[in-house]
Structure 1
Amino acid sequence: MSAPAPPFLFAPDIERLPRPRLRTLQLERLQRVLAHAHANVRHYRDAFAAAGVAPGDVRQLEDLARFPFTVKGDLRDNYPFGMFAVPREQVVRLHASSGTTGKPTVVGYTKGDIDTWADIIARSLACAGARPGDVMHNALGYGLFTGGLGFHYGAERLGCTVTPMSGGQTERQIALIQDFGATVLNATPSYALNLAEAAERMGVDLASGPLRVGVFGAEPWSETMRAELDRRLGLKSIDSYGLSEVMGPGVAMECECRLGLHGWEDHFLFEIVHPETLEPMPMGEAGELVITTLTKQALPMIRYRTRDITRLSDAPCPCGRTHLRILRVTGRNDDMLIIRGVNVYPSQIEAVLVGFPGIAPHYQMVVARQGSLDHLTVEAEALAPRDEDSRQHLAYQVRHHLKTMIGVSCEVIVRLPGELPRSQGKAVRVRDLRKENG
C-alpha cells in the first residue's frame, strides 16, 4: 500500500465551530427555511395549519418538535413537482427513486443547491481521508440515482480525478482500478465485496495496490463487513450516509477515527424520535432519525422521517470536528422483520454470517408465511465447494449461532460458491414471498 496522505482539512472553520455558535447558526437557518417552505409549498401551509403552528412560532431549536413530520408518501402524493419551493424553471436537475412500490419520489435542485451539494460532498470526502489529486473510482450508479453524480461533482470540487464508472462490468472495473491507480473507491459495501471477490478469482491482488480509502454507503452494513473489506481491498472503509429526499449522499460522513458519521449540522438539523410514539428522544438514545434541511432551495424537507434506526452523539470526537455524530444505522423501520415475536434486521444476520468459518459473505433472507406465522430462511454460501452432508452440517452450525446471538429461529440453507446473486449496486438482502404471493 502507498504511504498515508498528508493531513488535510477542507473546511476547518465550520467543521470546528463551537457548538453554541453552531446552534445559533442552525436556528437562523431553520427560521428562514420554515418561512421559505410555508410561503412556497402548499403542502407545508396546509400541514402547518392543521398542526396549529406557523414559522414564527420557532424561537429556539426545540420548538421544531411542535411541527408535523414529512414522510415519503407526501412526495408521492404531490408527484411530480408539488413539493418544490421554487418555480420548475429554476430547477436545473431532477433525480428520482425507482418507484418500484408506486410512484417514484422526485427531487429537484437549483443551481445553488448543486453548488452547495458539491461543497458538502467535497467536505465529506476530505473527512473520509480523500485528498486533492486522488484518483476516485466511482462505482455508484449514475442517472436518476443521486449517488453517482452526487459524489462525482463533490470529488471534482475537492480536486480529485474521477473515473465515472457506475455499476456493472465488474472485470473491467478491476482493470481500470489497476490501470488508473485508483486511491479512493466509492461503492455500495455489497458491490465493493463483489469487486474484491472477482479480483481474487482473476488473480488480482487489489489489497497490495494504491487503494487507500473506501467510501461505502447507500445500504446498511456491519462492522464485520467493514473488517472484511479492509482486509480484502487493503484500504480503510469509511461509512457514508445520505438519502435522496434530504439531498443525496453527503448528509453525514465518518472521519478517519471511524467513531460515527459526522452529520453536517450547518446544513441539516437532526432529531431522534421514538419509532412508535414519535416523541423526541434524549441524546444517545436509539430511535428513528428525523432530518430537517436548513439550506435547500428547491425541495426543503421539514422533519423528514428517514425510517433509519440509530443514535446521535454530541460527545467530542478525537478529530476535533464539533458536528454531532450519527452512530451506525442498525436498520430501517420498514426493513425490520418480526419472526415469531423476535425483531430482526438484515444487518444483524450479516454480522453473524460475515467471518463465520466456512461461510462466504453473501446471503439472502427469504420470508414466507407458514400458517399464521412468518417463517425465515437464511440462504448463505459456502466459502469453498463442499458435498451436501458437509453443507448441511455447516447450516446446522449457522442456525445454532443465529439462535444464540440474535434469538431468532430460522431455517438455514448453505449453497455452493457462486449460487447466490451478486450485487451490481444496492444489495437485495430480503426476498419477501408474502408480498410476491399477495
Structure 2
Amino acid sequence: MAEHYDDLETRPAEEREASLLAELPAQIAHAKASAPGYAKRLAEFDPAAVTSRAELAELPLTRKSELPTIQGVDLPFGGLTTIRPGQFRRIFASPGPIYEGEAHGIDSWRFARALFASGFREGDILQNCFSYHFTPAGVMFETGAEALGCAVIPAGTGNTELQARAMADLKPRGYVGTPDFLKLILEKADQLGHDTGSVTLAHVSGGPLLPPLREFYSARGIDLFQSYGTADLGLIAYETEAHEGLVLAEGILVEIVRPGTGDLVPEGEVGEVVVTSFDRCTPWIRFATGDLSAILPGRSPCGRTAPRLRGWLGRADQSTKVRGLFVHPGQIAEVLKRHGLERGRLLVSSRQGIDDVALQVESADASVADAVADTVLDVTKLRAAVTAVPPGSLPNDGKVIDDTRKFE
C-alpha cells in the first residue's frame, strides 16, 4: 500500500517553502485584479513586493468573524471571489450566515489527501455522516472520497437507528463525521443486535476529540484519525499514522499570529491560525480563522515534511464585556505594543458581583506597571491593576483575555 498521496508530501521542506513564496506575488496580484473586495483591501500594496513571510505579514487580515458583515454589503461573497456566483458548482450557507462557493473540479476542497493518510483506498466504502444540508462538510468529504475511488454512503446527520442498520447491511470499511456521532451509532447498533464489525477506520473533524473517545474506538478495533479545516478554506491540516500533530496540507501557506493582531509569533507559541490559499476562484489572502494552534517543532515520523499543527486549541476571539465595556484582544495588543512588550494577559474575575480587572505583562522591569496601567485606561477606558511577571512565565495557551467569571 502506498504510504503517501503524492511526491509533494515528501519533498524537502525548503523546496516547499520556496515554491509557496514564489507563488505569492501572482496570487495576490490575481486577487487584487479580479476580486473587487481584495482590490479595496490591497489597494496600497504592490503584489510583486510580497516575496517573504515578513512582507506577507504586512498585508491586512480577512477575519472569518467579519464575513457576515463583509458579505452583507455585497451579497453573496463580499467581492472576495474572482468568478460570478453562477460560475460556482455549489453555493453553501453556513451559520452567520456565511456563504461559501465550491469551484468546479475534482476534490476542490482537497480532502482526498487527508482520507488517504487515514488509510482509505480505492474500492473502500465509507459512511459519510457529515451534514449535507446547506453547509459544505458532507460534500467536502464526499468529493475527497470520490477522488480516491471510494464508494460513499451519504448518510448525513441524525437517525442513529437507520445509520446503524445501513452500517450493518452495507458494511462500510470506514466512517467520516464528527468525533462523537460514531459512538452513538455503534451503541445503537449494539442495542439492536447489528454487526458493525466492518468499520475499522474513522476520520473525524468538526468537534473536540477527547481521550475517552479515542480509547472507546481503540477498544473496538477502529483506527481513528482527525483533520482540521474550515468551510471557507477546506482542508488545513490532517493526522497521519504517526499520530503526532496534524500535518499542514499542500497548497496553502499558514501563519500563526498573536490574537488580536496580524503579528507573527515565534515557532511553538500558541496563536491564531491564518491561512493564505492559492485557490484561483476564492483566493483567500491572510484569512484569520479565529482558531488557536501552534507549530510543532521538527518533522513528522511518517515521512511527510510539511510543518505540523498541535491541533485545535480553542478560539482566538476572546472579546468580553467588563463594566459595561467590550474589551478585545486587539486592544491588549495595542497596550503592549506602546510599551515594547510582547506578551500579556488580561485577567477578568468577579468579587461579590463586582468585575475585577488585572493585567499581567512579561517584563524584567517591574517599574513599567504604572505606565502600562495608564495606557490600559487610555485604550480600553478601564482601570486595571498591572503586574510585571518574569519573561516566559505566562502560559503558552494563546489566551490574551482570561475571563473566569461565572454567569448563571
TM norm structure 2: 0.74
For the structure 1 residues 22 and 66, does the alpha-carbon distance in structure 2 shift closer, same or farther, using more than 3 Å as the test?
same
Q: How many angstroms does 1:371 deviate by?
A: 4.3
Q: Secondary structure at the match of 2:275?
A: strand
Q: Does 1:255 align with 2:240?
A: yes
**Aligned match of 1:310:** 293
- The one-letter code matched in structure 2 to 1:210 is S
**Aligned match of 1:70:** 62
Gaps of at least 5 residues in structure 1 are 1-6, 340-369, 375-406, 412-431, 434-438
CA contact (8 A) 2:214 2:224 kept: yes
The 5 Å alignment of 1:134-153 reads: 134-153=124-143
Choose which of 157, 165, 170 in structure 1 pairs with 2:155.
Answer: 165
Q: How many angstroms does 1:109 deviate by?
A: 2.8
Q: How many angstroms does 1:337 deviate by?
A: 8.8
Q: Does 1:98 align with 2:95?
A: yes
**Aligned match of 2:209:** 221
For the structure 1 residues 277 and 39, does the alpha-carbon distance in structure 2 shift closer, same or farther, using more than 3 Å as the test?
closer
CA contact (8 A) 2:203 2:224 kept: yes
**Aligned match of 1:377:** none
**CA–CA separation in structure 1 for the residues paired with 2:208 and 2:149:** 29
Gaps of at least 5 residues in structure 2 are 323-351, 357-401
Percent identity of paired positions between Structure 1 and Structure 2: 31
For the structure 1 residues 188 and 337, does the alpha-carbon distance in structure 2 shift closer, same or farther, using more than 3 Å as the test?
farther
Q: How many angstroms does 1:94 deviate by?
A: 1.0
**CA–CA separation in structure 2 for the residues paired with 1:409 and 1:109:** 40
**CA–CA separation in structure 2 for the residues paired with 1:239 and 1:88:** 31
CA contact (8 A) 1:53 1:66 kept: no
**CA–CA separation in structure 2 for the residues paired with 1:178 and 1:272:** 43
Q: How many angstroms does 1:140 deviate by?
A: 0.6
Q: How many angstroms does 1:54 deviate by?
A: 2.3
Deviations for 1:65-105, whole angstroms, at most 9, x for unmatched residues?
01000012145323313222123342222122123xxxx11
Choose which of 31, 34, 39 in structure 2 pairs with 1:45.
Answer: 39
CA contact (8 A) 1:288 1:309 kept: yes
Q: Does 1:284 align with 2:272?
A: no
**Aligned match of 2:232:** 245
CA contact (8 A) 1:107 1:299 kept: no
Choose which of 51, 54, 58 in structure 1 pairs with 2:46.
Answer: 54
Q: Secondary structure at the match of 2:62?
A: coil
- The one-letter code matched in structure 1 to 2:16 is L
Q: Does 1:87 align with 2:75?
A: no
- The one-letter code matched in structure 2 to 1:31 is P
**CA–CA separation in structure 2 for the residues paired with 1:9 and 1:158:** 14
**CA–CA separation in structure 2 for the residues paired with 1:312 and 1:86:** 33
Choose which of 179, 191, 196 in structure 2 pairs with 1:201.
Answer: 191
Deviations for 1:245-287, whole angstroms, at most 9, x for unmatched residues?
21x3x322101111111111x3111111111444201222111
Choose which of 245, 256, 270 in structure 1 pairs with 2:254.
Answer: 270
- The one-letter code matched in structure 1 to 2:281 is A
Higher helix share: 1
Give the CA RMSD over aligned residues: 2.9
- The one-letter code matched in structure 2 to 1:259 is E
**CA–CA separation in structure 1 for the residues paired with 2:320 and 2:170:** 43
Q: Secondary structure at the match of 1:21?
A: helix
The 5 Å alignment of 1:358-373 reads: 371-372=353-354
For the structure 1 residues 409 and 95, does the alpha-carbon distance in structure 2 shift closer, same or farther, using more than 3 Å as the test?
closer
Q: Secondary structure at the match of 1:270?
A: strand
CA contact (8 A) 1:34 1:302 kept: yes
Q: Does 1:17 align with 2:11?
A: yes
**CA–CA separation in structure 2 for the residues paired with 1:166 and 1:297:** 29
Q: Secondary structure at the match of 2:39?
A: helix
Q: Secondary structure at the match of 1:115?
A: coil
**Aligned match of 2:103:** 110
For the structure 1 residues 128 and 314, does the alpha-carbon distance in structure 2 shift closer, same or farther, using more than 3 Å as the test?
farther
Choose which of 30, 41, 51 in structure 2 pairs with 1:36.
Answer: 30
**CA–CA separation in structure 2 for the residues paired with 1:121 and 1:222:** 22
Deviations for 1:147-175, whole angstroms, at most 9, x for unmatched residues?
10111111111011111111111111111
For the structure 1 residues 65 and 95, does the alpha-carbon distance in structure 2 shift closer, same or farther, using more than 3 Å as the test?
same
Which 4+ stretches in 1 moved above 6 angstroms? Answer: 335-339, 407-411
Which one scores higher on RCO, CA 8 angstroms, separation ≥ 6?
Answer: 1
Q: How many angstroms does 1:201 deviate by?
A: 3.2
Q: How many angstroms does 1:219 deviate by?
A: 1.8
Q: Secondary structure at the match of 1:77?
A: helix
**CA–CA separation in structure 2 for the residues paired with 1:194 and 1:241:** 22
